[in-house]
Amino acid sequence: MPGMNGRYRIPSQPHQVELTIRRSRFLATAAHAPDQEQAKAFIASVRERHADATHNCWAFAAGPPGDSAHIGQSDDGEPHGTAGRPMLNVLLHGDVGEVVVVVTRYFGGIKLGTGGLVRAYSDLTRMVLEDLPCREKVDTVTLRVILAYEHADAVQRLLPEFEAQITAEQYGADAEYQLTLPREHLPALERAVLDITSGLALLESMAEKESASGFSP
């Protein structure tokens, strides 16, 4: 589950695993799904690539881990509730957000039964998530800071502690900086700047955005 700090893992590149169960060949393919449209586009590409497969079952959760606001699933011809829903349950209880998984099945002639199908599709989804390359997603905010020159050096020395970066600067009657930093650090940085400047700095939160940094499982 994502922490209160707005950080969570998302896929950095597609990944696939393969498993044979009682002569049926299963391939699970996972990828990044920042929204429903991109999730469905990826599903369509896998279905096209494996158009000769017996089933291309899928599930996606296009939000933070555990968020069910933007989800979808399909059994694609398997008995109702034996593929898409078990796959989605794995996604919602995992620690990777914005993810789509397609499990392709080439039927091998031996039926697995309802319980066997649920286990197969659940296990394939877990398998592909285990080694899925990921990066960390961080919610960030842009902060405008205007202060007297006498405080500029002290404030700049603070920035690494709060993972803040100067993205623009301007010098006139006062020093003006545009900072980008993780949203979780904003209140503490604002307090620190006001402490240094005795409350005289002008602080303005300008916009929020999201960034991603490299992260491997």
From CA 76, how far away is CA 84, in angstroms rounded?
8
Cα–Cα distance list, 204 to 43, 143, 154, 162, 176 (Å): 42, 6, 19, 17, 11
Beta pairing partners, 205: 143
User: How deeply is 212 buried, as exposed, middle or buried, from its count of CB atoms within 10 A (0-12, 13-18, 19+)?
Assistant: middle
C-alpha–C-alpha distance, residues 115 and 176, integer Å: 63
Rounded (10°) CA dihedral 34, 40, 45, 50? 120
Q: Is 49 helix (H, G, I), strand (E, B) or coil?
A: helix
Residues with Cβ within 8 Å of 91's Cβ and at least 6 positions away in sequence, in order, are 59, 60, 61, 71, 99, 101, 125, 129
Sign of CA dihedral 129, 55, 84, 39: positive
List, in order, residues 6 or more apart from 65 with CB less than 8 Å away.
1, 2, 8, 9, 92, 94, 95, 96, 97
**Per-residue pLDDT tens digits of the chain, which is 217 residues long:** 444 567 899 999 999 999 999 999 999 999 999 999 999 999 999 999 999 999 999 999 999 999 999 999 999 999 999 999 999 999 999 999 999 999 999 999 999 999 999 999 999 999 999 999 999 998 889 999 999 999 999 999 999 999 999 999 999 999 999 999 998 899 999 999 999 999 999 999 875 555 444 433 3
In the chain the domains, ranked by start, together with CATH numbers, are 7-132 (3.30.230.30), 136-214 (3.30.70.240)
Four-point Cα dihedral 147, 149, 153, 158, nearest 10: -10
